């Protein structure tokens, strides 16, 4: 039942479909990449008004079926362009995810219409079914799809252009099968064709998921390789410290025999003051013994911090460190290590471009009320911030490190901040 004579109902149905589709998009969106959120809300509300007016005029002057045939041009395409303008999400990735939501919305709308027709329902039952289906879709998106999508989107960098063509092609194909030469409710065979096409879509998206999972695994393997390299470098440093400690211990053990002989000789003379003076003068012999530095209990994160801070010290960078890291980390230590490594690496590279006397880096970490890691360092030249809040160095370097930090925060719901003031850049990540 289409209720084509009830114009108010048709407009309301389109509005619910529009709001439900936008809500599904929002349930899997990363709001950290949306700029000027109050303005964006106002823009979306204004677009909703446009949807209502354009729908009313098209149906009033033509008919509902004509509206269905052109809604992709009047509603869907402008919505995707609007979302692209209010976020920094790459266009190809945005088209893939949003076109997929539009495709799912089409099947929800068609299924509700068919169920309501089969039950001989009225306008009210159609509205209630529509609201129920979109609510269920939002819950599934938010609780199951969101984390998977954000993980893949934050890790997989290539291939979105080709992938975006798939949902777009399916939308055109679905609309064509459903509405030509007439509405699918008037052609029972078309209904079977539509859902067979839906089965093909599920198979295609399963293949896409497998491809993205493979890309994600490859990216994770690359990160693990970097972590292993960091661990290996730290093991080499620790081995060098142990060798130095062993040499120093041998020297002290050799000297200890002479010290004890001297103390024994002074004791035989009964010269207590001489013994006290001698012990006081020799007490500092153990101060030169190197002690391995530990920054936290997690071996992977400790290896990362030890390696990069040692590299900074060897490069002549004056370090000011204050690290309080909990024994239980809020996220996987491998991914956290890569994030911290990018922050420290950006600081080391920036300091190396400065004269020796200006190389100063401050590294701080607190774990209460939440884990917050901050790196502050000077930089050479100009440092502007893009619309996503990421630094854009004048020499074009380090941008991959900044994007990696932002990607980590996007995947784990963390907050990042870049502030460039007084020729110093402050990077902060809070989980």
219-239 average pLDDT score: 67
Main-chain dihedrals φ then ψ at residue 425, nearest 5 degrees: -110, 130
Query: Are 245 and 307 within one domain?
Result: no
- Domain with residue 371: its CATH number is 3.30.565.10
Least confident of 30-44, 159-173, 337-351: 30-44
Residue 358 falls within a domain, yes or no? yes
Residue 260 shares a structural domain with residue 311: no
pLDDT in tens, 307-316: 888 888 888 8
Other residues' Cβ atoms within 10 Å of the Cβ of residue 399: 14
The closest alpha carbon to 351, from 385, 384, 398, belongs to 398
Residue 177 shares a structural domain with residue 258? no
pLDDT (0 to 100) of residue 74: 92
What is the CB neighbour count within 10 angstroms for residue 152? 20
DSSP state of 74: I
Whether residues 260 and 315 share a domain: the answer is no
**pLDDT exceeds 90 at position 248:** no
In a domain? residue 242: yes
Domain residues for the domain of 100 are 7-186
pLDDT tens by residue, 184-217: 988 888 899 999 999 999 999 999 888 877 877 7
Q: Residues 348, 371: one domain?
A: yes
pLDDT, greater one: 33 or 426: 426
pTM of the model: 0.62
CA distance 200 to 66: 27
- Residue 214 CB: number of other CB atoms within 10 A? 11
Same domain, 341 and 406: yes
| pLDDT tens digit sequence for 42-93 | 888 899 999 999 999 999 999 898 999 999 999 999 988 888 877 767 888 8
Task: Give the pLDDT confidence score for residue 37 in this predicted structure.
Answer: 67
Q: Which of 359, 362, 431, 429 is nearest to 401 (CA)?
A: 429
Count of domains observed in the chain: 3
Q: Are 58 and 6 in contact (CB under 8 A)?
A: no
Instruction: Give CA–CA dist 336/45, Å, rounded.
Output: 38
The whole-number pLDDT of residue 330 equals 87
């Amino acid at each position: 039942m289409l209720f084509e004579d009830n114009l108010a109902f048709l407009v309301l149905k389109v509005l619910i479909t529009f709001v439900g589709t936008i809500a599904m998009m929002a349930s899997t969106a990363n709001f950290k990449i949306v700029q000027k959120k109050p303005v964006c809300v106002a823009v979306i509300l204004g677009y909703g008004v446009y949807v209502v007016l354009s729908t009313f005029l098209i149906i009033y002057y033509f008919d509902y079926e004509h509206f269905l045939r052109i809604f992709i041009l009047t509603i869907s395409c402008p919505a995707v362009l609007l979302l692209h303008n209010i976020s920094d999400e790459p266009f190809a990735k945005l088209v893939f995810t949003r076109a997929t939501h539009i495709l799912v919305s089409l099947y929800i709308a068609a299924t509700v219409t068919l169920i309501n027709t089969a039950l001989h329902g009225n306008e009210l039952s159609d509205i209630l079914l529509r609201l129920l289906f979109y609510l269920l879709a939002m819950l599934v998106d938010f609780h199951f799809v969101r984390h998977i999508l954000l993980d893949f989107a934050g890790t997989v960098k290539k291939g979105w252009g080709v992938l975006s063509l798939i949902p777009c092609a399916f939308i055109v194909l679905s609309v064509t099968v459903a509405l030509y030469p007439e509405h699918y409710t008037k052609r029972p065979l078309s209904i079977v064709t539509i859902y067979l096409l839906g089965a093909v879509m599920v198979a295609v998206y399963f293949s896409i998921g497998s491809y993205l999972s493979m890309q994600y695994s490859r990216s994770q393997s690359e990160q693990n390789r970097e972590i292993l390299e960091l661990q290996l470098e730290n093991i080499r440093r620790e081995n060098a410290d142990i060798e130095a400690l062993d040499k120093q211990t041998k020297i002290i053990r050799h000297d200890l025999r002479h010290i004890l002989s001297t103390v024994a000789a002074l004791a035989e003379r009964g010269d207590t003051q001489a013994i006290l003076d001698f012990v006081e003068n020799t007490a500092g012999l153990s101060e030169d013994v190197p002690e391995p530095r530990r920054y936290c209990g997690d071996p992977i994160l400790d290896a990362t911090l030890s390696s990069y801070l040692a590299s900074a010290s060897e490069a002549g960078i004056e370090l000011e460190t204050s690290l309080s890291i909990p024994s239980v980390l809020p996220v996987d230590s491998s991914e956290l290590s890569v994030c911290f490594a990018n922050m420290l690496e950006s600081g080391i590279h920036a300091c190396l471009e400065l004269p020796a006397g200006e190389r100063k880096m401050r590294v701080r970490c607190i774990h209460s009320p939440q884990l917050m890691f901050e790196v502050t360092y000077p930089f050479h030249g100009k440092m502007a911030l893009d619309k996503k809040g990421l630094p854009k160095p004048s020499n074009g370097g380090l941008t991959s490190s900044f994007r990696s930090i932002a990607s980590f925060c996007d995947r784990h719901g963390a907050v990042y901040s870049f502030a460039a003031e007084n020729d110093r850049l402050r990077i902060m990540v809070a989980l």
